[in-house]
Every structure is written in structure tokens, then in C-alpha cells.
Structure 1
């Protein structure tokens, strides 16, 4: 075959300067071939890696190239495929290739490259050898070795590129290679552009429409997802920065994780026409990306605008970064993207706090001791506040505490509450569970009720407990019934409902002072008369209540507790008193708050 069938249309030294120095990693080099297949309107690309022979084959079912096209398209370096201003493939795909340098990157990973293409039933191919290229003088053109020249075949169109004599010390494993390729291209599709990796042992991995996003988002403990512009319709009504981004057809997604991401996972990628334009970095849109949000966030943005110009290059040749400062429009775009990140950060903090609250509430329910305290009818407000505060602190983003340790901390908090002291106390059943003082009642009655609960937490001495509870019971009866009688004094006087002597009616006496002078027993009986008058009980019921009150000897026993140092009512007697008066006190509460 003629030596000059194929000609590398550039000085041989360019391979060293623009190719070998461009990429030193296999994924980037393979990505150039994959995007070439996309530009060739291929629907399927097969990448076969033979680890034992240290060779790779990349083949597609695209439109292929003729002998002339191999020379003018593939072997011509720095040819701008979009210079005609069209930028579309015959099938209407947006071209991803532009600078014509990617093919040289293969020499950064291997010494020999074979290119074989079929079009119109003609097969053409050649081999390029890096060592031979290096030996070619600057005054000469390098002529690759011809393998096939217009050989007639009965095969479908397509191109195969063989990467031989791989110079890398280690060839990336299939899983790692698949992940790296997945993160660099967002146009994989099972129906339109499927990439299949395989090795000599028969293992295969398919890259379809799911792989790109899956390669970006956290695989575990995914927290929140923010898609732009779909999730920002409210902000788009007023936020000019976000409106400008929509006008530029910018779209993207930000994922956050419950726990901090690894440093290599943090940050954002930028793609243009589906191809990676800038590597993953937290500093993508701001040089000051030091907010804790960036420890938890990752994502990507599609910005075709960056690579739309057929003449201007805003993407570094190695596709590591975008040259944001090269153009005023790009600077403005970056500022708006940074403002979008600010909006996302604000929403993330709101969502984080809400999730933290939800997790704190769930953690409380998952700890039996905490649940026991919170479900207690004797729950003290300060205990609830303490539990809520500590549960929230344990879910703080700056805290990294194992679940079991959180549980133990919450158990210790529960044990330290006064409410738990009441729940665990042997005397906790003294007061009926339904004896709750409404908030509308006077502070004095509510304080007396609270003191009866607190007394149970220090009940080591039974006599001390009986004394405290007896005095508190007497105080609750007296305060409650007196409040009732003071409020309805006129009704009781008009309808002659007082037991014993009616209170003084002289205007110099206040209602409270005059009722106070009545004995506790007569106050209680006056209250029973009032309940009968209001229809809460009939005469027979009232007489039974009076009889029961007398039989239990509520007043005599409470008086004895106050005045007799030698005799103390037992716990069961004190409980009997509570059971006797509690229903009437609850009824009194109803009338006092009306």
C-alpha cells in the first residue's frame, strides 16, 4: 500500500505538546472517543478491555468515515467542526467536538493506535505509532501505516479504534472506569446512545440514562434534592438572577447528604451539550465557597451557552475548568449562579431545621423512657423544654454522634427529669389521672396542683410525704371551692344555697373576705347545694355525696394532720379523700372558668 495514503496534518511535535501532555488518565481519553461516536450519530458504542493483553477496543455503529474523511476529519488536528456555524450532526445532534485535539490524547495512555472505519461498504484503516511520530523531523509529515485502503466489505458502517501497547502502569478496573465515564457525559441512553463496557472474562457494564445522575448524587443518606428551574417557581416570580439563568436555558440539580460528603464528592460539575466542561469543585461558582453547606452538597448544571460560540473557547483544553473571566457574559452568568446557590443554601437550612426537628421528635419516640415522660399526665413544662432542647442539639449538623450514644444520652435526660421521678414514685397513683387544672384558672390553683406532683419526687420519708400531700389537698379544696363561691356569691345568697350561716353582706366586706370566714366544711356543702341548683346532681345524689364526704372524714382527718403530732392518716386514707373530692373539684373548675 502507498505510504502516503494517510497523512497526519500537523507537525509531529504537536502530538507531544497537545496530545501526550493533554490527558494522562484513561477515562478522559476514552471520553474523547465516546463523544466522537456521538458526533458520528452512533446509537451504540462497545468498549472492550483486554486486561491480559493490555489493549482496548472502542467500536461504534455510527456513519463511519471514507479514506478522504479519515484524512480530512480524523487526522487533521485542530479542525473546528463547528466553523460552518451549523454545529449539528445529520441526525440533528448537537456536536460535542470542537477543537480537534482529543484524538491526540490517546498517546497519553498508549503507544500504538489503530483506526478502522467502514462507510459505503468500503473499509479503510491505519495505525499510528508514537515512537515513529517522535522520530519524524519537523520538516516532514508523518504518514500512519495503512491497514486497509478502500477494501470492499459487506458490513454496516461504523468505526473501531484500537488502543494498543498501553503505557499506563495500571489500567483502571471496570467499575471505576464506568463510574469515571458516567460522570463525564450526560447523553447516555438505552435507546439512542448506549455504551457497553466488557472485558476478556465476560463482565459487562451498560451506561444508560441513569448512570450520570447516579454517579453524582450520594449513594447513601441522600437528604434533599433541588432541581432548577422546576423547584424554584416561586422565586422565579421575583428573583432577577434566577430569571436570567432560565433565559440562558441553564438547568441543574443539587443533592445534599445528611452527613458531610467526602472531599472528592463535594462540589458541582458543569456540562455543556452533555459533555463535561468543568471538573467537580466546590469553588465552581464562587472563590469563597467555604460555607458548611458545601460540605453536604453536590450536583451539576447544564449550561450549553458556554460552548455555543463557533469561534470562542471558554473551556480549558483539558476540560478541567471554565474560563469564567474570559468574557463579561460569563462573569455575569457565574454571579447569577452564585446567587442561585445562595437561594438553595437558604432553602437547605430551612429544610435541615425541619428535618432536624422531625428527627428529634422521632428519636424521642424511639426511646421508651423519654416516651414515658412525654406521655405522663404529670409532664412538667420545664422537663418537656429540656428534652426538646437536648434532642435538637443531638441532631445538630455540627454533631457527629452514633445513634446508640444518642439513645443513652436521652435515657439519662429522662431519668433526671422530675416527671420521671413522679412516674417512678410509689405514690404516683395518689391523685386521679384526670385531675388536670385548666389554664384559665387562677395561678394559685395550678401552682398547688404542680406542688402535689413535685412532692412525690422527694417522698423518701412516708410521713413527710403524707404531711405535704395532706396540706396541699386541703389547700386545693379550700382555694377551689372558695373561688367558686366568691364568683357565684350572689346566686347562692339569692337562692339560699349557703350551708350554715350565710356570709356577711355589708358593702364594707368584699366577696372574698366574707366567704373566707365560712368553715371549710360549710364551703364544701354550699358547693354541693350549688351543683344541685345547676342540675349537675339531684337531691339524692347530693345527699350521697355529702354522706360519703362525712364517712371518709375528709375535714377531720386533714384537721388531725395539721394539729395532732401523734396521728397521721395512711396513704390509702389520703387516696380515699382524693377520690371523694376530685369529681367535685373538677366540676368546680368548669364553673370557675366559664
Structure 2
């Protein structure tokens, strides 16, 4: 028996060495072969001596290869398996093949000068060696060195490929290799990828889907169920998980952007499917898309190194446009979700409903307060540092600050607050005048209203003084007499100058054509002052009108 590999040496060099010069992509091709061979698992063993790489062994428990398979399948460069055998699922795991171009085997020469293939199928073992230097010196036809030919064995089916005389000189970093491999595959539950060393003290590493995004802190996720409607042409045709992170994804992580897979294997490196990626949203986006229909297209649109798609293909153009719209939608929802979460965290940390707080302010107050709050909460990492400051700001500028800043009398404030909160300032001021009138009637026992309420403070004149119904100051002193007179004048003025106009014309005409919002707030302040004077009144309900302390003179209505 004599195996023969026919080729142009430049083909091996260009498609093997130059295309697969880094470890993970080359190993991925061998892993794909194991997957297509219906393996349950593949084990990659890395051997070093004094921290110098010596060899890599890749062992699978798949269906193995016969002597005929070796010659007619493995050693044929550019053999399209699907054209020859049909695009049909495997017998054991019902897998559709990932290999298509028949070039993956050349990846081995990107890593090593010597490749030993040891394979068993149905009780027969074959082993042969491919030597890089001999291969390059061959004239279009190369005969691998056969070490074992159709030897009977009790060993189970499977293939072991050993890569020796490695081109790599730096030590193996299994964690890094596992991370890179996890980004190349969507690994199903029927297939296990294990990495280990020959050092018995080293732990083995499993390459799985969880590892793919283990180094980032996920915040929000979207799947096809969230974004694709049942009437879409892509409903049931693609699946995906888009992920946004809490902090920007490091540029050198290889995770920025969304990876496109077909039949579980990468076909397009992470990107955003858009020409405009200036928004900072893209710094937070990663994820994967599975579009198996790409492998069914008449034209092969997947690049040889499986890093990019031919987006000029009509169906690929349509897919790209669709994915671009999806990601724009994700960006929009991300901003809303992030805003809501930030406000929830703000509320939890400070005890303040920010939206309610800011919406209760007039524009001239809200804008500077909002600017201060935004600066303090822009960087989420330091938000807790500013919590006490924001709480102090809230004490200074509470909800409905103009209402609180005026320090309205509690009787007035409780009766007009609902109007104020609904931005009905005119109604609030009007209600204030009515509350004031009601309080005067309760104190005096009189049924007066409007400007007649001023009579309750009447003192006559100094030559012919009379006892007022409601006394708010000591009328025996000059100052007290003036305060008493002022209470009467201001009561008459507020009733004539504000309450009467408000009650004799439609409110939407009076406000703001006659009275502005500020006018209404000023009326509230005046009403509050007049009501506060009543707290120190002596209503003379006792017949003896005896002298008493200021605290006794407070009216307890």
C-alpha cells in the first residue's frame, strides 16, 4: 500500500502556513473534523519540556478513517465532502457537516513540520506521517510515510493527530487557548472539547459556551424571541443572543461586536453590520447569531479562513440590512433599559424618586438641579460617593420647591397642595383665599365673605376706638394698631384685587392674561402671612377680655 498526496507546494504554503499561523484557528479546524466524524469528545493534550512547546495531540472518539478514507478523503486537497457524500446528517448525533472546502487539514502545517495521523475504524488501525520539509521538496506528488497499515486492533474507533516539531516557541497558555476556541464554536451538548497538559498536577479545561462571555459582566440580553416577529422572513431562520455589558468591553478582548455562526462554527468575525458605529453603545455590545441557512446557499459565501462573509451576495446583503436594523433596535432599547436601571439604582441609594422630583420643578429650577444630578450620576462607579450630596440637595430643593420655599401656613399648604402638584397654580391661589375666609368665619362666628371680611379687623379710629372681632396685635400700641389696620387693608385688597377677578371671569382668561404663575405664588405667600398673623390673635370670645400671654392668645383651630 502506498498513499499519495498530489498538490502544488505553493498551495500548501498559502492555504496552510499563511492562513493558519496562529494556534486557535488551526486547532479549530482539527476540532471541526472530530465533530464531523461524529465524536462525543475531543481531547487536546499540550506537551512542553522546560517550558518549551514540544507537541500537541488531538484525540477524538469519532468514526475514524479506513485506508480508503485516508487516500480518497483526507489526502485530497479541496475535496468538497458535501458534493461527494451529500449534505446529510451523521448517523450517531444527527449532525450536519461543518467542513466544506476540504482545506482544513492544511491548517496543521501552519503549526508543525511533522504531523502523525493514527486512526482506527472497525478494528483496523492505520498510522502515517506527513513531513513538511519533504512535502515542499516533492514535485507535485508526495507519499506520506506509512507506519501502520490495516493492523488489527481491539481499540475503539477514533483518530489521534500529533503535531510535533512545532513552530511555536512560547509556552502554551491553556486558559487563553480555551477562551479563543470558545469564540469560534457554538458547542452543543453532544460534543465535549477538553484541553490538558502532560503535567499530572495541571487541571484540564473544558471549552464551552459559558466560557465565551465569562470575562465580561453582562447587563442585558436579547434573543430572537424578543426582536423577530412571526411575520418576518427570518422568523425561525436565525437565532441569536445579543448581550450588553455593564462596562465597556476591552478592545483587545475580541468580544466587541456580534459573531456570526453557521452550523455551530464561526463564519464572520465580530462586527456590528453597520457602517456607522460612532455611538458609545457599540462599546458595550457583544453576542452571537446562528444562521445555518448560509451553508445551504448555492454559492459558497464563507471565506476560506472562516473570518468573513461575502456580503455582496444578494441574500447576504438582505441579511446584513436586517441585522443592522436589529442592532439599531437593541441600541435604542439598551439606552432605555440603562436609563431605567440607573434611575432604579438612584432611587434605591437615595430614597428619592428622581423623575417625580425633577418633574415637580419649574424649568428654571429643574435645569440646574438636573445638571448637578447628571454630573454626579454619570459615572456609575462613583454614584454611591455622591449619595449624601444628592440627599442634601433634595433637602434644599424638595419636590415642588416653590411651594416649600414659601413656607406656607400648614392650613393653607394642606388645602392647596393637590392643585399645586397638578400645576394648577391659579386654582391653588384661589383656594387659598377661600381657606383664609373660612378660617376668619370660624374664629369670628360671623358669616361675612369677600371684602366684608376686612370688617372683622376694624378698630374704628383712635378718637373713637372700637373692639375688633379679631385682634391680631396689641392695638394699645402704635405698632400694634398699624399691624391691625394693615391686616384689614390687606384682607380687603386680596379679596378685591384677586379673589373677585378670579371668581367673575373664566380662569383660563384671568390666568395668564391678568395674573401670571408668579402672581399666583405671591398671592399664596400673602395669604399665608395673613393666616399666620391669626395664630397670635385674641378672638375675645371670653367676656372679661383678660390679659394673657402670647402663647395663650394663639388660636387652636
Q: Same fold (TM over 0.5)?
A: yes
User: How much has 1:406 moved relative to structure 2?
Assistant: 3.2
Residues 581 and 131 of structure 1, relative CA distance in 2, 3 Å threshold: farther
Residues 96, 560 of structure 1: alpha-carbon distance in 2 compared, 3 angstrom cutoff = farther
Corresponding residue of 1:251? 239
Measured in 1, the distance between the counterparts of 2:552 and 2:305 equals 85
Is 2:146 the partner of 1:146?
Answer: yes
Q: Distance in 2 between matches of 1:304 and 1:324?
A: 16
Indicate the residue corresponding to 1:540 in structure 2. none
1:347 aligns with 2:333: yes
User: SS of the residue aligned with 2:233?
Assistant: helix
Query: Does the Cα contact within 8 Å between 1:363 and 1:391 map onto a contact in 2?
Result: no
Aligned CA distance change for structure 1 residues 559 and 300 (closer, same or farther; 3 Å): farther
Query: How is 1:2-151 mapped onto 2 (pairs within 5 angstroms)?
Result: 5-52=2-49, 54-84=54-84, 85-91=86-92, 92-138=94-140, 141-151=141-151
Secondary structure of 2:118 counterpart: strand
Which of residues 219, 233, 244 is equivalent to 2:216? 219
CA deviation profile, 1:502-555 (whole Å, cap 9, x unmatched): 75xxxxxxx41222222289xxxxxxxxxxxxxxxxxxxxxxxxxxxx9xx983
Mapping for residues 388-407 of structure 1, pairs under 5 Å:
390-396=372-378, 399=379, 402-403=382-383, 405-407=385-387
Q: Using the alignment, how far apart are the partners of 1:307 and 1:71 within structure 2?
A: 26
Distance (whole Å) between structure 1 residues aligned to residue 476 and residue 138 of structure 2? 119
What do the CA deviations read for 1:158-192 (whole angstroms, capped 9, x no partner)?
00000111102324401001111111111242xx2
Q: Find the aligned partners of 1:50 and 1:232 in 2 and give their Cα distance.
A: 47
Alignment partners' CA distance in 1, 2:61 and 2:282 = 42
Q: CA contact under 8 A between 1:360 and 1:392: conserved in structure 2?
A: no
Pick closer, same or farther for the CA change 1:412–1:30 going to 2, 3 Å.
same
Give the deviation of 1:77 after TM superposition: 0.8
Question: Which residue pairs with 2:303 in the alignment?
Answer: 316
Q: Which residue of 2 aligns with 1:515?
A: 453
Aligned residue in 2 for 1:533: none
User: Structure 1 residues 431, 440: closer, same or farther in 2, change over 3 A?
Assistant: closer
Alpha-carbon separation, structure 2, partners of 1:29 and 1:416:
65
Three-state SS of the structure 2 residue aligned to 1:82 is: helix
Structure 1 segments unaligned to the other structure (5+ residues): 450-475, 487-491, 504-510, 522-549, 566-572, 585-594
Distance in 1 (alpha carbons) for counterparts of 2:58 and 2:554 = 91
Equivalent-residue separation in structure 2 for 1:276 and 1:561 (angstroms)? 95
Q: Give me the whole-angstrom Cα distance separating, in 1, the residues matched to 2:110 and 2:481.
A: 103
User: In structure 2, do the counterparts of structure 1 residues 479 and 86 end up closer, same or farther at CA, with 3 Å as the change threshold?
Assistant: closer
Give the whole-Å Cα distance in 2 for the aligned partners of 1:255 and 1:559: 80
Q: Does the C-alpha gap of structure 1 residues 499 and 341 become closer, same or farther in structure 2, counting only changes over 3 Å?
A: closer
1:537-593 per-residue CA deviation (whole Å, 9 max, x = no partner) reads: xxxxxxxxxxxxx9xx9834699795389xxxxxxx979979986862xxxxxxxxx
**Residues 117 and 157, structure 1, Cα contact 8 Å, conserved in 2:** yes
Instruction: Report the CA distance between 1:320 and its aligned residue.
Output: 1.2
State the Cα distance separating 1:483 from its structure 2 match. Answer: 4.5
Shift of 1:333: 1.4
- State how far apart, in whole Å, the 2-side matches of 1:559 and 1:149 are: 130
CA-CA distance at 1:394 after TM superposition: 3.7
- By how many angstroms is 1:126 displaced? 0.7
CA contact (8 A) 2:179 2:211 kept: no
> Cα distance, 1:104 vs. partner?
0.7
* Separation (CA, whole Å) in 2 of partners of 1:213 and 1:446: 60
Pairs within 5 Å for 1:236-385: 236=229, 243-246=232-235, 249-264=237-252, 265-282=255-272, 285-309=273-297, 312-325=299-312, 327-365=313-351
* Alpha-carbon displacement from aligned partner over 1:306-335 (angstroms, at most 9, x marks no partner): 1223x521011111111111x211111111
Taking the aligned partners of 2:248 and 2:369, their CA distance within structure 1 comes to: 26
- CA 197–204 in structure 1, closer or farther in 2 if over 3 Å, else same: farther
Deviation of 1:113 after TM superposition, in Å, equals 0.7
Query: Retained in 2: the 8 A contact 1:59–1:158?
Result: yes
Q: CA deviation at 1:216?
A: 3.5
The structural deviation recorded for 1:51 is 2.3
Normalised TM-score (structure 1):
0.69
CA-based RMSD of the aligned residues comes to 4.1
CA pair 411-435 structure 1, distance change in 2 beyond 3 A: closer
Q: Which runs of 5+ in 2 are unaligned?
A: 460-468, 483-534, 538-548
Q: 2:414 aligns with which of 436, 441, 453?
A: 436
What is the deviation of 1:439?
Answer: 2.7
TM-aligned CA deviation for residue 257 of structure 1 = 1.5
